[in-house]
């Protein structure tokens, strides 16, 4: 059965991006449309979303939401992406007071103080707009805390929705650590009855918790890798919601994000100084590495391993281990480090300091640059991702296709996508090296990270044949969206079955 899937999200490429959520929400609907489904996507009309696309039209659907003692007008704008035969309709929820700002969630002073109000407003508008646009909806697919009220509006039939009985809801958790937790008084912003403010639905230790709301009300729940789906049901990675998740364990699954090889493939990547494929990767990567050394002012060297790192400068990404690793061992490792990241000042300062101390070994760019991210993926010999936890991770998947061997902490999606090499023939996952495509370490500590990086550098320098095999495995593995989109279809079907069974 072909379905009409409506997504609600705070980010989607090419309109607004701060992380992997945008990659997923911009690509998954296109892949589902390719399978013959109809997809629509709701997004706040941020300033940058409005300036990113030329053909935005007014649907002439507008209405007022009573929120925080005010009457706030919403206007629904529309554009589309994808093929003309079956485009993905993009609906932008416009209210300049909430969304016409420089950033998505906050500025140098921290999160915007009205984030709860902004995303309550957004969620209420999505529910209302589906009604007014008369969308024939089968699935409402909500992403992360910003859209997590919608399953509650659906399940409680908020405002007598015409689409209430025909749709099922799916909640996807991209990162459980971001929950949208606000003080209890913000419950009034949701418009929902206070009876739902209890520990089994919306309340969390006296506060309002939007993600918990989505988890509690959704017909089906997904997260972005099977290992993370398991981990978040344990206290260590459950961020206080492991009990809520365990109570719904029969309706949770993990689906690894796919890669858009239209954008991330070294054979046609527009950002690279040289394109390459499995047939000529050695020459291609050597040319990209030379260009990167020039660009970053690193000494030219073909044989010195280049280690890439790209990501938000947040503790989640393992910078608290990278910092001492480099401070203590940058002189000892014969390697060049190319680092791209923006975020917390404490990490930015120490990285900049390292680059000043060893400009011949460490190059740091503290910015968000998509073209540079592509060039680093192509130029590096290995890619370091020592995340403390990682729901899925995209950069290791890009690395695999770019012949760049991932070196990772064995957690979440990194467990599901990186098969570690072991000289003994068996790795710590118990797999044979037959599928090995990288290196990983089990314990999240400096010693384990150092050992793993040393092993990768040694293998690169002393065992070129093993290295070639790891590169070949990675480059030929298929992490495209095809399988992930099929898995989402299965989740949607399951949601529809569960929606009609009595809880
Ligand atoms: P997360 O969503 O937790 O930040 P992911 O690995 O899932 O991590 O996705 C991160 C995405 O953002 C990738 O596409 C990555 O290349 C990109 N990215 C992160 N930081 C930067 C940066 N400073 N410049 C360019 N791209 C970045």
CATH code for the domain in which residue 328 is found: 3.40.50.2000
Kindly report the protein residue whose alpha carbon is nearest to atom 17 of ligand 1: 19
- Domain range for residue 24? 4-258+483-499
Q: Report the nearest atom of ligand 1 relative to the CA of 175.
A: 3
Q: Can you tell me the distance from the alpha carbon of 59 to that of 56, in angstroms, rounded to the nearest whole number? A: 9
Q: Report the nearest atom of ligand 1 relative to the CA of 257.
A: 7
Residue 144 in any domain: the answer is yes
Q: Are 169 and 179 in contact (CB under 8 A)?
A: no
Task: State the average pLDDT over residues 195-207.
Answer: 98
* Beta-carbon count within 10 A of 385 CB: 24
Task: State the average pLDDT over residues 116-137.
Answer: 97
pLDDT, tens only, 269-282: 999 999 999 999 99
- Dist. CA 289 → ligand 1 center (Å): 21
Residue 289 in any domain: the answer is yes
- Dist. CA 402 → ligand 1 center (Å): 16
Task: Evaluate if residue 423 carries a pLDDT over 90.
Answer: no
Q: Report the nearest atom of ligand 1 relative to the CA of 377.
A: 16
Residue 230 in any domain: the answer is yes
User: CB under 8 Å to 410, separation ≥6 — which residues?
Assistant: 418, 420, 428, 429, 440, 441, 442
- Dist. CA 481 → ligand 1 center (Å): 18
Q: How confident is the model at residue 211 (pLDDT cuts 50, 70, 90)?
A: very high
Same domain, 320 and 461: yes
Residue 298 in any domain: the answer is yes
Same domain, 115 and 9: yes
Q: How many residues does the chain have?
A: 503
Kindly report the protein residue whose alpha carbon is nearest to atom 12 of ligand 1: 19
Provide φ and ψ at 107, rounded to 5°. Answer: -130, -160
Kindly report the protein residue whose alpha carbon is nearest to atom 14 of ligand 1: 20
Tokens of 234: 């344990």
Name the 3-class secondary structure at 78. Answer: strand
- The predicted pLDDT at position 19 comes to 86
- Dist. CA 310 → ligand 1 center (Å): 7
Same domain, 313 and 247: no
| 3-class DSSP string for 185-226 | HHHHHHCCCHHHCCCCCCEECCEEEHHHHHHHHCCEEEECCH
Task: Evaluate if residue 427 carries a pLDDT over 90.
Answer: no
Task: State the average pLDDT over residues 388-412.
Answer: 97
Taking all residues of the chain, what is their mean pLDDT, rounded to a whole number? 95
Kindly report the protein residue whose alpha carbon is nearest to atom 19 of ligand 1: 311
Sheet holding 203-204, edge to edge: 181-182, 207-209, 203-204
Task: Evaluate if residue 429 carries a pLDDT over 60.
Answer: no
Same domain, 182 and 330: no
- Compute CA distances 340 → 169, 365, 395, whole Å: 37, 5, 12
Share of the chain above pLDDT 70, in %: 97
Q: What is the pTM of this model?
A: 0.94
- Dist. CA 312 → ligand 1 center (Å): 6
Name the 3-class secondary structure at 327. Answer: helix
Task: State the average pLDDT over residues 391-396.
Answer: 96
Kindly report the protein residue whose alpha carbon is nearest to atom 8 of ligand 1: 20
Q: Report the nearest atom of ligand 1 relative to the CA of 392.
A: 7
Task: State the average pLDDT over residues 388-397.
Answer: 97
Same domain, 62 and 89: yes
Same domain, 212 and 292: no
Residue 463 in any domain: the answer is yes
Residue 214 in any domain: the answer is yes
Kindly report the protein residue whose alpha carbon is nearest to atom 22 of ligand 1: 368
- Dist. CA 374 → ligand 1 center (Å): 11
Provide φ and ψ at 351, rounded to 5°. Answer: -70, -45
Tokens of 82: 């994808």
- Dist. CA 175 → ligand 1 center (Å): 13
- Dist. CA 375 → ligand 1 center (Å): 14
Q: How confident is the model at residue 159 (pLDDT cuts 50, 70, 90)?
A: confident
Q: At what angle do helices 345-357 and 319-329 cross, to 10 degrees?
A: 20
Q: Report the nearest atom of ligand 1 relative to the CA of 370.
A: 25
Same domain, 239 and 307: no
Alpha helices in 232-318 (DSSP H): 242-246, 281-296
Q: Report the nearest atom of ligand 1 relative to the CA of 390.
A: 3
- The predicted pLDDT at position 435 comes to 86
Q: Report the nearest atom of ligand 1 relative to the CA of 373.
A: 25
Provide φ and ψ at 463, rounded to 5°. Answer: -130, 70
- Dist. CA 438 → ligand 1 center (Å): 20
- Dist. CA 145 → ligand 1 center (Å): 19
Task: State the average pLDDT over residues 125-142.
Answer: 97
Same domain, 287 and 162: no
pLDDT, tens only, 92-111: 999 999 999 999 999 989 99
* Beta-carbon count within 10 A of 114 CB: 14
Residue 268 in any domain: the answer is no
Residue 269 in any domain: the answer is no
Q: Measuring CA to CA, which residue among 439, 390, 441 is closest to residue 412?
A: 390
Q: Can you tell me the distance from the alpha carbon of 503 to that of 499, in angstroms, rounded to the nearest whole number? A: 9
- β-strands 70-81, 382-385 pairing: unpaired
Kindly report the protein residue whose alpha carbon is nearest to atom 9 of ligand 1: 20
Number of domains within the chain: 2
Task: Evaluate if residue 318 carries a pLDDT over 60.
Answer: yes
Same domain, 238 and 324: no
DSSP calls for 405-443 = EEEEES-HHHHHH--B--TTSB-TTS-BGGG--BEEESS
- Compute CA distances 121 → 149, 158, 189, whole Å: 10, 14, 8
> In testing the pocket of ligand 1, which one of 25, 178, 312, 408 has its CB within 8 Å of the most ligand atoms?
312
Same domain, 227 and 289: no
Angle at 408 between CA 402 and CA 409, to 5 degrees: 160
- Dist. CA 313 → ligand 1 center (Å): 10
Q: Can you tell me the distance from the alpha carbon of 64 to that of 499, in angstroms, rounded to the nearest whole number? A: 30
Same domain, 220 and 83: yes
- Dist. CA 11 → ligand 1 center (Å): 13
Taking CB atoms and a 6 Å cutoff, what residues make up the pocket around ligand 1? Answer: 19-20, 23, 310-312, 340-342, 368-370, 373, 392-395
Same domain, 393 and 469: yes
Task: State the average pLDDT over residues 382-393.
Answer: 97
Kindly report the protein residue whose alpha carbon is nearest to atom 18 of ligand 1: 311
Sheet holding 70-81, edge to edge: 57-67, 70-81, 88-94, 38-44, 4-8, 139-143, 168-173, 220-223, 252-254
Name the 3-class secondary structure at 406. Answer: strand
């Amino acid at each position: 059965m072909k379905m009409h899937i409506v997504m609600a999200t705070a980010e989607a490429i090419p309109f607004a991006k701060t992380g992997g959520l945008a990659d997923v929400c911009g690509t998954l609907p296109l892949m589902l449309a390719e399978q013959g489904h109809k997809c629509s996507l709701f997004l706040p009309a941020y300033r940058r979303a409005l300036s990113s696309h030329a053909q935005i039209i007014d649907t002439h659907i507008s209405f007022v939401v009573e929120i925080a003692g005010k009457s706030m007008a919403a206007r629904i704008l529309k554009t589309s992406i994808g093929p003309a035969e079956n485009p993905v309709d993009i609906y932008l929820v416009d209210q300049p007071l909430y969304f016409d700002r420089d950033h998505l969630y906050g500025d140098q002073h921290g999160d915007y103080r009205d984030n709860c109000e902004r995303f309550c407003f957004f969620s209420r508008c999505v529910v209302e707009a589906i009604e007014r646009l008369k969308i024939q909806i089968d699935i409402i697919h909500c992403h992360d805390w910003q859209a997590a009220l919608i399953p509650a509006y659906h399940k409680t039939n908020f405002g007598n929705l015409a689409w209430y009985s025909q749709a099922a809801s799916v909640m996807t958790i991209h990162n459980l650590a971001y929950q949208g937790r606000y003080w209890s008084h913000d419950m009034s912003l949701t418009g929902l009855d206070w009876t739902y403010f209890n520990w089994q639905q919306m309340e969390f230790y006296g506060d309002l918790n939007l993600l918990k709301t989505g988890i509690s009300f959704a017909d089906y729940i997904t997260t972005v890798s099977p290992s993370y789906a398991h981990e978040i049901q344990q206290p260590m990675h459950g961020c206080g919601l492991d009990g809520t998740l365990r109570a719904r364990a029969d309706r949770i699954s993990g689906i690894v994000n796919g890669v858009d090889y239209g954008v991330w493939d070294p054979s046609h990547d527009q950002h690279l100084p040289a394109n390459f494929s499995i047939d000529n990767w050695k020459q291609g990567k050597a040319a990209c590495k030379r260009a990167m050394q020039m660009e970053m002012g690193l000494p030219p060297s073909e044989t010195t391993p280049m280690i890439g790192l790209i990501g938000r400068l947040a503790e989640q990404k393992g910078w608290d281990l990278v910092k001492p690793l480099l401070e203590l061992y940058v002189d000892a490792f014969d390697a060049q480090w190319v680092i791209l990241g923006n975020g917390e000042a404490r990490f930015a300062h120490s990285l900049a300091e390292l680059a000043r101390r060893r400009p011949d070994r460490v190059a740091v760019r503290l910015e968000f640059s998509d073209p540079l991210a592509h060039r680093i993926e192509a130029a590096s010999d290995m890619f370091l991702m020592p995340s403390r936890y990682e729901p899925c991770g995209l950069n290791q998947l890009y690395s695999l296709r770019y012949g760049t061997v991932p070196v990772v902490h064995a957690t979440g999606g990194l467990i599901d996508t990186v098969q570690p090499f072991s000289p003994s023939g068996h790795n710590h996952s118990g797999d044979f090296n037959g599928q090995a495509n990288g290196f990983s370490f089990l314990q999240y500590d400096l010693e384990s990270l150092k050992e793993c990086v040393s092993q990768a550098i040694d293998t690169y320098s002393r065992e070129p044949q093993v290295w070639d095999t790891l590169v070949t495995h990675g480059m030929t593995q298929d992490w495209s969206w095809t399988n992930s989109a099929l898995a989402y279809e299965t989740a949607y079907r399951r949601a529809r079955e569960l929606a009609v069974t009595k809880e």
